[in-house]
Amino acid sequence: MLQALRKQKHLLTRSSGSVTTPLSLWYMLFEGLAWPVMNIFANLFFVWIALLYGMTKLLVLWWLLLTVLDVLVAIHAIVMEKEDLRLAFYSIFYRFFYILIIDVTKVFATLEELVGLDMQWGKLARKGRI
Amino acid sequence: MRFDWVNILATVIFVSIVVTLILAVASYFAYKVREARRPKTAAELRQEGQMKAFFTPYQPK
């Protein structure tokens, strides 16, 4: 996402033509940069508050609110795709582990991209000969 | 005996967040270490004037 944004950054402020492309890029910017940082901050904030003030009911309710949102979005997607409703159960693990791991990886990858470390896809080099 | 479910759930959430954060950071650095140690590809070896042979050539004696 970051590489695509860097390559197409001139489209972020494009005023002519379709609005879909700039909108997609702004969404990618939010999804790739802002959202992972916000999610990690929210989790660290949870830990900090729990350490300072103990495990309060409000903390649990706040976490449950996010989890209920995840489950509802998952159910919506499952119904739209006519998939097995039991799959919605995995959205609890999504909130518990998956999204935090992905967001930490995203933040590290962003830092590497900002520092300018060489990144590649690990593809096999094609020579075009037998 | 009455369980304090809020406290138990909060502890589970707290521990899972801390453990997940530690594992996520550790796994990212483990991936970086593994990438640094990976064997060179055939293209990289070719640039150094070496060959990556998948089969050992038959050398008649």
Closest CB to B10: pick one of A50, A105, A125.
Answer: A50
Mean pLDDT in residue range B8-31: 90
Q: Are the beta carbons of B11 and A55 closer than 8 angstroms?
A: yes
How many CA within 13 A on the CB side of residue A64? Answer: 9
**Which chain B residues contact residue A50 at CB under 8 A?**
10, 14
Residue-level pLDDT, tens digit, chain A, 130 residues = 777 888 887 787 777 778 888 888 888 889 888 999 999 998 899 888 888 888 778 888 888 898 999 999 999 999 999 999 999 999 988 888 899 999 999 999 888 888 877 666 666 666 666 6
Between residues B59 and A103, which one has the greater pLDDT? A103
Has residue B1 got a pLDDT over 60? no
Our CA-based measurement puts residue A116 at a distance from the nearest CA of chain B, in whole angstroms, of 15
Encoding tokens for residue A30? 């939010």
Residues of B with CB under 8 A from a CB of A: 6-7, 9-11, 13-14, 16-18, 20-21, 23-25, 27-28, 41, 43
What is the residue-wise DSSP string for A39-76?
A: HHHHHHHHHHHHHHH-S-HHHHHHHHHHHHHHHHHHHH
Report DSSP letters for A15-30, one per residue: -SS-SHHHHHHHHHHI
Reported pTM: 0.73
- B47 or A64: whose pLDDT is higher? A64
3-state helix, strand and coil shares in percent for chain B, rounded to the nearest 5? 65, 0, 35
* B13–A125 CB contact, under 8 Å: no
Q: How many Å from the N-terminal Cα to the C-terminal Cα in chain B? A: 84
Q: Look up residue B46 and give its amino acid.
A: R
pLDDT at A112: 86
Contact A104 B11 (CB under 8 A): no
pLDDT at A130: 60
Residue A59 to residue B13, Cβ atoms within 8 A = yes
Residue B34 has pLDDT above 60, yes or no: yes
What number of residues does chain B have? 61
What is residue A14's three-state secondary structure?
Answer: coil
Task: Report the alpha-carbon distance of residue A127 to residue B55 in Å, rounded.
Answer: 20
